[in-house]
């Protein structure tokens, strides 16, 4: 199932949460803590997530593409690849690995964003176009796909805590027919509640990875707030 379809299917039934398997955080360090990534995956699925995100970037987040492919093979949910995508070969690799969606960062791709989004769609992937400010948003609005509002500035590599105020600021500028995903800086139910006033779904990683029982915390976020 495609990521956008999974989000739409669950809107109104539960809080659409994309749960991220994040090996390492530039701010918090080792998040996997010797746990099996497939244990995390199955916990997220049981907790009610609408999709899985995995970061393949190696230098700062310690991810790897091989694990992404294995997660795609094992997951019953659509899988989003997050990385700093700079060329179309990586889009092709993502599709070949069985991915359902790919992150495209408008700040990096700029005027190439629409072209990369179309290329992803032509390969069966949902593009999640990430923005952080109005300049980024301009490129996203010229493109097809979901729009991810990153509450953190990617240039700071998670050195700041972020907050959902960026989602609150940018979401009114986005047409109602576009699916909005609020990313990063969501660590409490209250954060989630605010984010979902302005976005259709959320993407949460660090808060889930830091928890002792990932299934319980995902379930709490997915079912713990009535929209």
Question: Residue 145's domain is classified under what CATH number?
Answer: 3.20.20.70
Q: 159 pLDDT exceeds 50?
A: no
Model confidence at 224: pLDDT above 80: no
Report the first-to-last Cα separation within the chain, whole angstroms.
24
Rg of the chain over CA atoms, in angstroms?
16
Residue 110 domain boundaries: 3-223
- The beta strands (E) that lie in 94-206 are given as 101-105, 126-131, 146-150, 180-183, 201-204
Confidence tier at 106 by pLDDT (50, 70, 90): very high
- The tokens for 117 are 């989004």
Cα–Cα distances (Å) from 100 to 13, 33, 94, 121, 175, in that order, read: 22, 27, 8, 10, 24
For 108-123, what is each residue's pLDDT tens digit?
999 999 999 999 999 9
Phi/psi of residue 18, nearest 5 degrees: -90, 120
**For the chain, what percent of residues have pLDDT higher than 70?**
94
For 114, list phi and psi in degrees, rounded to 5.
Answer: -60, -40
3-state secondary structure of 30: strand
pLDDT for res 152: 82
- Report d(CA 169, CA 75) in Å as an integer: 34
Is pLDDT of 163 > 80? no
Number of domains in the chain: 1
Residue 213: pLDDT band (50, 70, 90) is very high
Give residue 84's Cα distance to chain centre: 13
Question: Which tokens go with 118?
Answer: 């179309």
DSSP conformation class of 159: -
- Residue range 65-69: mean pLDDT, rounded: 97
CB atoms within 10 A of CB 168: 17
Digit-coded pLDDT (tens) for 27-45: 889 999 999 999 999 999 9
Write down the pTM of the prediction.
0.93
| pLDDT at residue 156, as a whole number | 61
Residues marked as catalytic: 20, 22, 82, 130, 150, 183-184
Whether 207 contacts 217, CB under 8 Å = yes
43, two tokens: 């916990």
| Distance between CA atoms of residues 144 and 64, nearest Å | 27
For 90, half-sphere exposure in the C-beta direction (CA atoms, 13 angstrom radius) is: 19
């Amino acid at each position: 199932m495609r990521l956008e379809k999974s989000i739409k299917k669950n809107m109104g039934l539960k809080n659409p949460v994309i749960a991220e398997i994040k090996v390492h955080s530039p701010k918090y360090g080792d998040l996997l803590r010797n746990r099996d990534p497939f244990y995390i995956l199955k916990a997220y699925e049981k907790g009610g997530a609408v999709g899985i995100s995995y970061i393949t970037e190696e230098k700062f987040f310690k991810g790897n593409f091989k694990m992404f492919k294995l997660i795609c093979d094992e997951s019953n949910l659509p899988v989003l690849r997050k990385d700093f995508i700079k060329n179309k070969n990586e889009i092709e690799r993502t599709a070949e690995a069985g991915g359902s969606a790919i992150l495209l960062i408008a700040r990096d791709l700029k005027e190439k964003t629409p072209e990369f989004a179309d290329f992803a769609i032509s390969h069966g992937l949902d593009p999640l176009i990430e923005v952080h400010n109005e300049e980024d948003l301009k490129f996203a609005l010229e493109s097809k796909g979901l729009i991810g509002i990153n509450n953190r500035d990617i240039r700071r590599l998670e050195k700041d805590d972020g907050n959902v105020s960026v989602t609150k600021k940018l979401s009114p500028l986005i047409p109602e027919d576009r699916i909005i995903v609020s990313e990063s800086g969501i660590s409490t139910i209250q954060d989630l509640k605010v984010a979902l006033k302005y976005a259709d779904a959320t993407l949460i990683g660090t808060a889930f990875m830091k928890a002792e029982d990932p299934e319980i915390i995902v379930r709490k976020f997915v079912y713990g707030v009535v929209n």
